[in-house]
Every structure is written in structure tokens, then in C-alpha cells.
């Protein structure tokens, strides 16, 4: 399972995010790119991390504007730099899915199949429990 990998990347991303947020000076371009890289790797570990990453971007954008008292163009530039780095890491996997499977996000198993019906796998429960 990807849970351990996802947790490791998520903890690393949040730790680095906290490190950048706790400082008074604005992050350099390299630091912004590193945050984007960590976000991209977190997304690759588990694609539903996109919601955590989006929340992290919103919090960072608001922090730069409110606490850092930076102008809107400065906050947008930082968000764009980090976002492009995140997308650059995730884009090859997204393109592969689109080309090979017809969808950017994987559709896995019978649970998301068009032909699946509620309770169609109930007949397998006794054997699995045994």
C-alpha cells in the first residue's frame, strides 16, 4: 500500500511548509521550487492529495498576503512558481494516464465500473471470511 510513502511525503511537505511560513524573509525561488517538488511527489504518492495541496496553497497565499504583507503580484508569483513545479512533477503521470487509459485520473476496479451494481460482490463474502 502507498500509505507509508504518502505519509512520509505529506509530513515532509508540511514540515517544509512550516519552515517557510515561520520565517520573516520571503522564500527564494529555489525554496519555492522545492515546496512544489514536495507537493508533486505527495500527489504522485496518492492522487487525492490534490485536496491537501490545494488547501496548503490557499493557506500559503493568504499567509503571504496577510502576515507577510506582500502585494498581490508577489503572492501570485510565489503561488505560480510553486504550482508550476508541482505540476511539472505530476504532469508525466497525468499524461500517461490520459494517453493510455483515456482519463487523467485512474479508474480502478469494479467499484467504479459502469457495469457494477450495489451489492454485486456479496456472494464472495463467505469465502473471504472463511
Q: Side-chain half-sphere of 105: how many Cα atoms within 13 Å?
A: 8
pTM of the full predicted structure? 0.77
Nearest in space to 55 (alpha carbons), one of 1, 10, 4: 10
Which of the four pLDDT bands, split at 50, 70 and 90, describes residue 71? confident
Which of the four pLDDT bands, split at 50, 70 and 90, describes residue 87? very high
Nearest in space to 5 (alpha carbons), one of 42, 37, 40, 38: 42
Furthest-apart CA pair in the chain: how many Å?
63
Cα dist from 107 to 2, 53, 65, whole Å: 17, 21, 38
DSSP 8-state secondary structure symbol assigned to residue 43: H
Which of the four pLDDT bands, split at 50, 70 and 90, describes residue 119? low
Nearest in space to 85 (alpha carbons), one of 126, 53, 49: 53
Amino acid at each position: 500500500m502507498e500509505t507509508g510513502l504518502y505519509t512520509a511525503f505529506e509530513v515532509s511537505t508540511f514540515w517544509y511548509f512550516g519552515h517557510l511560513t515561520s520565517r520573516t524573509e520571503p522564500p527564494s525561488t529555489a525554496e519555492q521550487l522545492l515546496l512544489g517538488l514536495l507537493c508533486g511527489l505527495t500527489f504522485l504518492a496518492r492522487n487525492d492529495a490534490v485536496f491537501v495541496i490545494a488547501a496548503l496553497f490557499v493557506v500559503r497565499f493568504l499567509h503571504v498576503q496577510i502576515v507577510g504583507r506582500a502585494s498581490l503580484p508577489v503572492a501570485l508569483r510565489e503561488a505560480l512558481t510553486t504550482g508550476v513545479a508541482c505540476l511539472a512533477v505530476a504532469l508525466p503521470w497525468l499524461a500517461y494516464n490520459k494517453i493510455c487509459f483515456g482519463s487523467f485520473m485512474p479508474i480502478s476496479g469494479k467499484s467504479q465500473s459502469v457495469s457494477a451494481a450495489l451489492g454485486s460482490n456479496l456472494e464472495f463474502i463467505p469465502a473471504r471470511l472463511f
